[in-house]
């Protein structure tokens, strides 16, 4: 694989009694095998359609590439309207595989400008409308249900503007990515003739980046989506074993399971050492937190499982968070993502000879510096007996990004089964949605509104 998983610094050999022993891994081997077998038996079923995305989208990918070329030829801007997995995946891939100042490049060196509206802050919408001309913009509305309040409010605002500014051709500025068989957006798409892509019924939002949700925005940006799927397939095939020592994603899940259940590590820090991977940590936070944070298990037992995901960036957060990670509580697993070979490098020139504490850098490179600091952080964490592990990419490419996403999805699915919880539901999210609907007096939520009215009132004493 183009991806390596190094878990030396999770083990007792490096950390003493703060680490995990091989005997602890052996003790959960049967549980790990059950997790692997469960995933294999349910590939493509229920909510596990994401496992087959690297293999079953040839026709869809062909159509996406054609549509993306048309968008680049006809429009100046491409805007994603979505939230959660409909936004975090496209943003992470854009940040990873496009120029870090892509929108500011000379138009001759880039394609359309790219924006993701993943919130309902009114100032954000107004700011977008200050910098894009709707008449020169394609809007990609992404919601499986077509009832996502945030996305559909954006849809209503944008379509109202398009109708007023463009007239009868307004629908040519909308691409809908939604369910094929149900929901509001597919009805609107059919009624108005939107170009439409479908989210497989068996793919949930946080596992959707490798379907049209993420592939269309990536293709519009000129990203090699075939390469992304190829990389995901490579990792998937490399994880085809029930033996954790032969399946890196399964071993990653086993170690996190032991860390949570036996070591009290209830925080998972994701710390990439590359600015291009910064938003991968945001994507991971939803995947890990929303999948594993569950109140009850499969048996209906109240368990309150989960591990709080935290995002960091190396080396930036060596100057803010690493002090806590090296000397604070032993309640964390720090995952470092490293890049062996960057896509560009900058040499550090000679100078400052009179200052030895600066001059020692001269003659080296920024790639050498960031990777040396990454290894130094690994050492500091390990020396202080704090669990850490490293995922190393040969380089940041379409293939390795697709592979990295598949790795984390597999790890999450394995770990959820080991915890005996439903990895793919989100009752806590639904509770907040339902309360919002009730507060807006939406029909069908009268009981929830009554419940809210009976909730304890706030005490003015505690507002100062």
Compute the distance between CA of residue 2 and CA of residue 391 in angstroms, rounded to an integer: 10
Q: Which of 168, 319, 443, 454 is catalytic?
A: 319
Q: Is the bond leading into 315 cis (omega within 30 degrees of zero)?
A: yes
319 is catalytic: yes
Q: Which two tokens stand for residue 317?
A: 């957060």
**Any idea what DSSP says for residue 456?**
P
Q: Give residues with Cβ within 8 angstroms of 317, minimum separation 6.
A: 271
Q: Decide if 81 contacts 137 (C-beta within 8 A).
A: no
**Any idea what DSSP says for residue 143?**
-
Residues in the chain: 464
18 is catalytic: no
C-alpha torsion angle, residues 444, 448, 450, 455 (rounded to 10): -170
433 is catalytic: yes
**Angle at alpha carbon of residue 85, lines to 81 and 86, rounded to 5°:** 25
DSSP 152-206: HHHHHHHHHHHHHHHGGGGGGGEEEEE-SSSSHHHHHHHHHT-EEEE--TT--GG
Q: Which of 290, 305, 311, 386 is catalytic?
A: 290
Compute the distance between CA of residue 218 and CA of residue 225 in angstroms, rounded to an integer: 7
φ, ψ dihedrals at 261, nearest 5°: -80, -30
Compute the distance between CA of residue 212 and CA of residue 196 in angstroms, rounded to an integer: 10
Sign of the dihedral through C-alpha 286, 429, 258, 312? positive
Q: Which two tokens stand for residue 464?
A: 């100062």
Compute the distance between CA of residue 228 and CA of residue 225 in angstroms, rounded to an integer: 5
Q: Which of 18, 385, 433, 448 is catalytic?
A: 433
Catalytic site positions: 290, 319, 433
């Amino acid at each position: 694989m183009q991806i390596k998983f190094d878990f030396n610094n999770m083990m007792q050999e490096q950390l003493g009694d703060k680490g995990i022993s091989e005997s602890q891994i052996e003790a959960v081997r049967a549980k790990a095998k059950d997790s692997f077998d469960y995933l294999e038996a349910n590939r493509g079923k229920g909510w596990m359609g994401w496992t087959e995305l690297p293999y079953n989208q040839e026709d869809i990918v062909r159509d996406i590439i054609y549509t993306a070329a048309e968008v680049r030829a006809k429009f100046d801007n491409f805007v994603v309207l979505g939230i959660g997995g409909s936004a975090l995946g496209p943003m992470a891939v854009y940040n990873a595989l496009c120029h870090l100042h892509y929108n500011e490049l000379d138009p001759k060196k880039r394609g359309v400008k790219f924006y993701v509206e993943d919130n309902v802050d009114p100032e954000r919408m107004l700011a977008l409308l200050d910098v894009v001309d709707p008449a020169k913009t394609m809007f990609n509305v992404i919601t499986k249900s077509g009832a996502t309040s945030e996305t559909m409010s954006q849809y209503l605002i944008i379509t109202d503007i398009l109708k007023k500014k463009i007239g009868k051709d307004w629908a040519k500025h909308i691409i809908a990515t939604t369910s094929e068989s149900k929901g509001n957006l597919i009805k609107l798409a059919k009624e108005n003739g939107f170009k439409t892509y479908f989210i497989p019924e068996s793919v949930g939002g946080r596992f959707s980046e490798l379907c049209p949700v993420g592939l269309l925005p990536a293709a519009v940006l000129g990203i090699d989506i075939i390469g992304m799927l190829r990389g995901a397939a490579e990792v998937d095939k490399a994880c085809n074993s029930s033996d954790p020592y032969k399946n890196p994603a399964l071993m990653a899940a086993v170690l996190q399971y032991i860390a949570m259940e036996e070591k009290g590590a209830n925080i998972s820090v994701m710390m990439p050492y590359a600015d291009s991977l910064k938003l991968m940590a945001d994507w991971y936070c939803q995947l890990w937190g929303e999948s594993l944070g569950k109140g009850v298990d499969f048996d209906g037992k109240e368990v309150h499982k989960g591990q709080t995901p935290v995002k960091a960036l190396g080396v930036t957060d060596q100057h803010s968070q690493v002090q806590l990670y090296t000397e604070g509580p032993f309640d964390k697993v720090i995952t470092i993502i490293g890049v062996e070979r960057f896509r560009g490098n900058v040499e550090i020139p000679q100078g400052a000879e009179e200052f030895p504490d600066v001059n020692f850098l001269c003659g080296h490179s920024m790639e050498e510096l960031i990777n040396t600091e990454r290894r130094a952080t690994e050492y500091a964490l390990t020396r202080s007996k704090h669990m850490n592990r490293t995922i190393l990419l040969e380089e940041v490419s379409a293939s390795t990004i697709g592979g990295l996403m598949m790795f984390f999805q597999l790890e999450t699915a394995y770990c959820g089964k080991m915890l005996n919880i439903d990895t793919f539901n989100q009752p806590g999210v639904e509770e907040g949605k339902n309360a919002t609907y009730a507060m807006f007096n939406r029909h069908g939520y009268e009981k929830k509104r009554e419940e809210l009215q009976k909730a304890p009132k706030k005490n003015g004493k505690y507002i100062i």
